[in-house]
Amino acid sequence: MKPLEASDPAAVGPYRVLAELGRGGMGRVFLGSGSDGRLVAVKQVHPQFVEDEGFRARFRREVNASRRVSGAYTAAVIDADEHAPLPWLASVFVPGPSLRHTVDVAGVLEEEPVRRLAAGLAVALVEIHRAKLIHRDLKPSNVLLAADGPRLIDFGIARATDSQGGSEITRTGWLVGSPDFMSPEQADGRPLTSASDVFSLGTVLVMACTGVSPFAGSSMPQTLYNVVHKEADLAAVPETLREIIEPCLAKDPAHRPSPAQLLESVGQLAPSARVWPAPVHDLIASQQDEVAQLLGVPPEQHAPPEQHVPPEQPTPPHDPTLAYTQQNPSSPPAVPDARIRRRGPLLAVLGAVVGVAVLAGGVIWALLPPPPGRAGALVGVTMPTKSSDRWTRDGDLVKSRLEKLGYRVDLKYAEQDAPTQAGEIENQIDKGAKLLIVAAVDGTALTSQLQRAADKKIPVIAYDLPIRDSPNVAYYTSFDSFKVGVQQATSLLAGLGVDKGEKGPFNVELFGGSPADSSATIFWNGAMSVLKPKIDSGTLKVPSGQTDFRQAATPQWNSDIAQQRMRDILTKTYANSQKVDGVLSPYDGLSIGILSALKSNGYGTSGRPYPIVTGQDAELASVKSIVAGEQYSTIFKDTRKLAEATVAMADAVLKGGKPVVNDTKDHGVPSYLLNPLIVDKSNYEQIIIGGDYYTADQLE
């Protein structure tokens, strides 16, 4: 808790500001006091967001989402004003240290407090899921230990599951959350269900027992890899708790218990006036003293209110959480007796509920022909990232060609962040864009933005990356993704000499793209249509045994994750004299990471040359690697032609015409698909340099 500075507000809405509780990327949290004397946690957005209409909309949706949550073990939102000069929301003030702070200061919890923690969090999840939400960021710092039990706070990245109600809070595939405590499907970017929160709850309980996440790694990619692929080490968890926690950590969401089933496995808990160990109550009392001093009340005068003790829990078969969830969610948290010995100054940051929501519309859009004469209209273009030369090239090409036709262009790059891209599209709609061209970071993350575009009769062209789960995409331009996969596999076999009669067997390992990108499965299916017959015949062997897309997938197309997975495969599978002969890699960025792992394992020498490694996109670094004899091949997709086809399509739509398409079956919308080309050391000069894609100097 920090004292106020001269520049801080004296009041936020009707609440007098007393102190700062904390701050984050979205705003600051203040301790406030209402006209009735009630203490609240008030969250106010940072001033720089005020001009961003997309942000105001997100904040408004945050309020709507947060108000849907109630229950004995959550902190309810009680007031808000999204129209204020600086929007704010107020939630119930919860005195108590976070679980993270408690473990850091007082040490891990013993078995009985962990059981109470499990029961309270399970009840909180029942209420959250009943409101058709998924928390998505259940971690120790979002669990407060109040005097009468835990409180689950901060719904900042909650996700609505009620598609009928149309309240998508966050969208599948965003790498949002805390890697140490996220579920495998969240790390993979797969669709989430309420089971994701149960997995996170299991990791939090392990942390309460041991002090660390069961999946913590030396880096974020290592942690994500552990979450997806490695089993939790529960050796330090008491055996009776292990029986409760282990089912929560099942990799398959279908095998995890529901929160109600988890509560049933915890069993009956005896009522207690002091539910936590003495050091936790001392921390709570210290916080109460600091608040009392802030209010000018001597500690010995702030009398403790009546202690709230959860009743014994009946266990009716249909809902073992009923006794908890029927308690009054707004009952004030208890204040410990002032006679308890104080432990010193406040160290923990107090919590406030923070929710982020995105409301989806419910109107189905039928594309109507736009009126003619749209020259000079604004076209919104969003690309995934500037960090890839491929995407900066695409963005520049599309922009310049549209401008030559007389259109105005708003070009944005999302830096591989789906929320950023969603906000950019919202802003382009607000600016009056007449057409949107979107290369989606996450093809499932834009439903509400595209619905809003549909409501305003703004046509959308998906650029190279498919957009799923929305009827509001008019057209799609790309390359033939299935053919890309076929070409990658064909190139792998050619590098191994199979096309020239080599019989093998050859040891190969398979890598897939991001599960959040529907193109990744199309690439995979194309490649496996060629490789599976060779695997079945024994020409190819996959020593790791990882032949399923989910095993081979690379979340977020992250090179570091691919590199770590290759290292693990080499360590576990190729420890003896076996060698890797080939690696199917679907993207050049992954290929570079895979080659790095191979090099650190002794490959890349005259005695042990690199295996055949494929790729895609003809990125400059990978073409250089091909020239150097490291990466074997890439798939060249001439994005100049893609830009030309997309701009021609946009121009036709804006002028009320009918654009040229050559596919109406494979992607669910009328599409124009271009042909990719295999590039290797034998033909890069002809295709890449001869086609003026890169110069010879660039490849030196």
Known binding residues for ATP are 43
State the amino acid at position 442 in one-letter form.
D
Copy the structure tokens of residue 570.
Answer: 């080499």
Residue 541, strand partner residues: 507
User: Which pair of tokens denotes residue 648?
Assistant: 């021609």
Query: Could you write out the DSSP letters of every residue in 266-329?
Result: H------S--S-HHHHHHHHHHHHHHHHHTT--GGGS---PPP-PPP----TT-TTHHHHTS-T
Nearest to 511 by CA among 571, 577, 455, 585: 585
Residue burial 219-255, b: 16+ Cβ < 10 Å; e: rest: eebbbbbbbbbeebebeebeeebbebbebbbbbebee
- What is the phi-psi region of residue 401: left when phi exceeds 0, alpha when psi lies from -120 to 50, beta otherwise? alpha
CA distance linking residue 232 with residue 238, whole number of Å: 14
179 in Cβ contact with 168 (< 8 Å)? no
In 121-265, at which residue ranges do the beta strands (DSSP E only) sit?
Answer: 133-134, 143-146, 149-152, 159-160
- CA 658 → CA 195, 285, 369, distances in Å? 45, 71, 9
Cα separation of 412 and 425, whole Å?
Answer: 9
- Residues annotated within the binding site are 43
Q: Is 162 a catalytic residue?
A: no
At residue 121, what are phi and psi to the nearest 5 degrees?
-70, -35
| Residue 531 buriedness (CB in 10 A; 0-12 / 13-18 / 19+) | buried
Residues 8, 137, 282, 666: which is the catalytic one? 137
Residues recognised as catalytic: 137
